[in-house]
Amino acid sequence: MTQPDGTARRRVPRRATYLMCPPTHFTVRYAINPWMDPARPVDAARAMTQWRNLRDTFARLGHLVHTITPEPGLPDMVFAANGAVVIGGTVLGARFRFPQREAECAAYLRWFQENGYPVTVPPRCVNEGEGDIVFTGHGLIAGYGFRSDVAVADHLAEVFGLPVVSVRLVDPRFYHLDTALCVLDPDTAAYYPAAFDDAGRATLAAQFAELIEAKDTDAEVLGLNAVSDGRHVVLPASALGLAGQLADRGFEPVPVDVSEFLRAGGGPKCCTLELRS
């Protein structure tokens, strides 16, 4: 969206608080999405370097980052976004589709209980946290089709008292909503249309005044698995075209190398759970 004089709209950042988990035990030892191949080994040292750079990038941008202690035997615990949904200090716990990740649920809920969160709500159905549940600033968008149940929408409305709309994901490469949609600010989002059915595309068009359509080449490196503070957008360094589209709209792209996490179908957002007070 541009101003009347043709210049890009000025975007205003907000300060956020995030929870992250170091990739101490990160590896690809099973395949529960199309990106995972146990035959392609992860470079553990490189993954740790990339994670630290992501954490330090958030700190440099003025955000507060908490960390949870990783637990042995939980290689995907690094993907903190799946651990819960936190809005207004209320925590809705996650429940995973696959048993390989189920033990992460208790680990994340325990962290919240030990860190002063007074309301922690257990899940009623399968929901993979912020992987499939996106806060728009006005309400929630719940993704389903591969990993989370469509029934989660009713539970979200009950827990958070916010309007909720559901969208169906149709391409298994984009198995979580946060791989195909990034809310940039309450009026603006970037998305990959082919990841949604017709009804989902119409729903998203009704939610945002401005929608940026990611190209195939950027979606295919999970360029939409990004974190926005309303101005700065931390996104995979390989999503060059999307970075240009964001800059044209007045956002400031902040590229980071997350290539090791892409081996598991992850990126900056997967590694980042926002703690909304």
Q: Which of 21, 182, 270, 271 is catalytic?
A: 270
pLDDT tens digits, the chain, 277 residues: what are they?
A: 555 444 678 899 999 999 999 999 999 999 999 999 999 999 999 999 999 999 999 999 999 999 999 999 999 999 999 999 999 999 999 999 999 999 999 999 999 999 999 999 999 999 999 999 999 999 999 999 999 999 999 999 999 999 999 999 999 999 999 999 999 999 999 999 999 999 999 999 999 999 999 999 999 999 999 999 999 999 999 999 999 999 999 999 999 999 999 999 999 999 999 999 9
Task: Examine the residue annotation and report whether 138 is marked as an active-site residue of this protein.
Answer: no
Q: Which of 63, 155, 176, 232 is catalytic?
A: 176
Task: Examine the residue annotation and report whether 270 is marked as an active-site residue of this protein.
Answer: yes
Q: Which amino acid, one-letter code, is at 241?
A: G
Domain boundary assignment for the chain:
17-274
- Specify the CATH superfamily of domain 17-274: L-arginine/glycine Amidinotransferase; Chain A (3.75.10.10)
